[in-house]
Chains A and B, each alone.
Chain A
């Protein structure tokens, strides 16, 4: 057993290497969450619309992305986007686009289940008081669906935060990369990987505890 030496780990290391990656991971998670939920809601509404020309493209989008490994999706976008726009694109921007598009598939499945969990009578009630489809969705169905689905959406966001570490594949500078670079610079990779694991664990574990508490609160209201 070799001795672990964490003495090199001070504030300068954190501010010099880790913080930049941490902010990118958070930024990536938040943008992909907001964009993914927005796009995912549209996809879910398309799949529930009952019109084949809306259902089919949305189903194809969701099923395709859900059956490809995320690393491959990241690589695909990193390869394809520059071909489409005709100029190279940074790994960070490519990652933001990829995660938004990819997570939308997962969020849309959650949204679909959430919308389906709202009783049909609510929709009929909406129509009965003279609302059109958009009003009924916006004012009656979606608010309830969002509340039903909030814990699952947040759990998916925690998974999304964990998955952001996979931008390693295209060399974007995220939280994990920050630790790795620090480890290489001080020739202490073992210690930095350990600290990285602890940091990820503390963040994800405390967030999932919060989600659990929120879930209990929402359950009482219902």
Chain B
């Protein structure tokens, strides 16, 4: 077979080239992934913290959240957000599908992040918690000033790999017609029958995106490294 990279300069019939479409698809992939990452970090941290507090109802809430979002396939969760929730809660009918996918992906990932945050807090010696409470800090203050600053540094490496996973998992958004990279790959492949060139370009962009996240996370990890600790980048 012969390469034909000029396929990217062809017109799609909609007044743009396939290259322009590819770039806009990359933008959608990054937007979905990054917005979902923000949701996942916020909700996941909250749920992870709840799983470690001395209140069995809050622990139960955190645990149920994690189990619920971890044991349903992402594709099914996206369908739930896209087809089921708007038809049960009619008020949500006008919400754009982009937002629905962001919440689906964000909540799905939040379960994994909750698991990491919980593990991070639990690896700290119990004495740190007691020390915080003993010097008269309230429980929220103990978390804010004693436990979380250490726990978050510990969980940066697993959070990095979750952030890279979220780029990969954003590909599932094709199923509800978000114009992201995988959607582009499927449609452009069908229209041009230059599948290999198209797929190579898309796969390359996924590589680059995940690698960029990896570098940014490594940078953060080095910046917040606690002096005197073994961990933290190099």
Contact = CB atoms under 8 A, between A and B. Distances in A.
19 contacts: A1-B88, A2-B88, A67-B211, A69-B206, A70-B171, A72-B171, A72-B182, A165-B73, A165-B76, A166-B73, A168-B175, A176-B76, A189-B83, A193-B79, A194-B84, A197-B72, A197-B80, A204-B71, A204-B72
B199 A72 contact: yes
Chain B interface: which size bin?
Answer: 35 or more
A194 B89 CA distance: 14
B203 interface: yes
B182 A71 contact: yes
B210 interface: yes
A69 B105 CA distance: 14
Which of B1, B67, B71, B77 has the largest number of chain A CB atoms within 10 A?
B71
B75 A168 contact: yes
A65 B172 CA distance: 17
B87 interface: yes
A69 B171 contact: yes
B120 to A, nearest CB: 19
B207 A162 contact: no
A121 to B, nearest CB: 25
* Interface SS of B by simple majority: helix
B199 A79 contact: yes
Interface string B154-173: 00000000001001111110
B199 A75 contact: yes
B6 to A, nearest CB: 20
Contacts of A80: 196
Contacts of A166: 73, 75, 172
A178 to B, nearest CB: 12
Nearest to A191: B84
Interface in A151-167: 162-163, 165-166
Contacts of B83: 189-190, 193
A71 B196 contact: no
With most chain A CB atoms within 10 A of its CB, the pick from B72, B164, B175, B196 is B72
Contacts of B131: none
A129 interface: no
B209 to A, nearest CB: 10
A23 interface: no
Given A4-B88, A79-B199, A71 B172 contact: yes
A209 B87 CA distance: 32
A205 B67 contact: yes
Given A4-B88, A72-B202, A197-B76, A67 B71 contact: no
A79 B189 contact: yes
Interface in B189-228: 189, 195-196, 199, 202-203, 206-207, 210-211
B29 to A, nearest CB: 10
B185 interface: yes
Contacts of B207: 67-68
